Structure 1
Amino acid sequence: MNLAPILVAPIQIQIHLVSAVAAFLLGAVILLNRKGTRFHKMLGWTYVLLMTVVAVSAVFIRRPEGAGWSVNGYTPIHLFVVLTAVSLPLALFHIRRGNVKGHAGSMIGLFVGGLVIAGALTLLPGRIMHAVVFGG
């Protein structure tokens, strides 16, 4: 593992990475613990905040023109910003209406899509995390 690419990356990438890793770890703790408790709610609001930072910071991460497929610097991975922008309010809407299944589905979908799948895609060649994990 080589952290040099992260250390020299623009601040929005550093913020994005730190908040995504924190959200992933916190999300795993939330998924593995009892639901509906004060602890769950406290961690849940922290998770919402972290995922908001992940999504907002992603908007400021753009691919340079001519460096692969993009529209105004936005690549298909940026669709996960839309997933987050829809899933977070939907999850809150569901829980405020007492729809625990809808809330759980939205939050699990966000965790899997917005963190697991999007995180795996950052390991593709040409991305900074590929260089961090695999070198080069």
Structure 2
Amino acid sequence: METANIISQLHIGSALLALLLAAFVLIVPKGTPFHKRLGYAFASTLLIVNVSAGFMYNLTGRFNLLHVFVMISMGSLLYGMIPAIRRKPANWLRRHISGMTGAALGVWAAGLAELTIRVLPGFMNPSQIIGIAAGIGVVFFFLIGFLIGRFMKTLPENP
């Protein structure tokens, strides 16, 4: 089996698992041992998704705008996980909520973008497909901001 095919299969399998785990992590009560176990599973799976996506160039044959979203996803994941693991700085919980909400909803945005990449090639050229996928990313960016704002309002001022 060729390397590109193995990477694609790893990416798709881990992405499907990340989609499922992201939904559960956002739904279950926060701070519980179950939430933490799900969170670590989600973070590990998303790490695999992002690393494998970094090696995928089959749409354009080179680095493109979708790879920028991979870097944003990794940044969001690290921004959310590192403070939660270290329990530092003082506002670690706010950072965790921001980063992980972005990571969880970001994986759903990526899933919809991926769907456009799989469905639209027969109808559009790669530039148009990337434009649609980027548009989906922008919509989710604002949705993520809205939800982070809602989650933050439930926190005490200095947790």
Q: TM-score, normalised by structure 2?
A: 0.64
Rounded to whole Å, the distance in 1 between the matches of 2:37 and 2:115 is 31
Kept in 1: contact 2:83–2:95 (CA 8 A): yes
Match of 1:43 among 20, 38, 47: 38
Report the alpha carbon displacement of residue 110 of structure 1 after superposing the two structures with TM. 1.3
Whole-angstrom CA distance in 2 between matches of 1:45 and 1:12: 22
CA contact (8 A) 1:90 1:103 kept: yes
Asked whether the 8 Å contact 1:63–1:75 carries over to 2, the reply is: no
Q: Could you say which residue in structure 1 is the equivalent of 2:96? A: 103
SS in 1 for 2:19: helix
Residue 115 of structure 2 aligns to a residue whose secondary structure is coil
Q: How does 1:1-136 map to 2 (within 5 A)?
A: 10-63=5-58, 70=60, 73-95=62-84, 96-97=87-88, 99-113=92-106, 115-124=107-116, 127=117, 129-130=118-119
Contact 2:50 2:74 in 1 (8 A): yes
> What residue identity is the alignment partner of 2:57?
R
Match of 2:132 in 1: none
- Do the aligned residues in 2 keep the contact of 1:48 with 1:88 (CA within 8 Å)? yes
Distance, in Å, in 2 between the alignment partners of 1:92 and 1:112 is 15
Unaligned runs of 5+ in 1: 1-8, 65-69, 132-136
Counterpart-to-counterpart distance in 2, 1:63 and 1:118 = 16
8 A Cα contact 1:23 1:50, kept in partner? yes
In structure 1, C-alpha distance between the alignment counterparts of 2:27 and 2:108, rounded to whole Å = 16
Structural RMSD (CA): 1.9
Q: 1:81 is paired with a residue of what secondary structure?
A: helix
| Residues paired across the two proteins, number | 113
- Structure of greater relative contact order (alpha carbons < 8 Å, 6+ residues apart): 1
Between the aligned partners of 1:40 and 1:75, the Cα distance in structure 2 is 34
Deviation at 1:33, TM superposition (A): 0.4
User: Which SS does the other structure have where 1:77 is aligned?
Assistant: helix
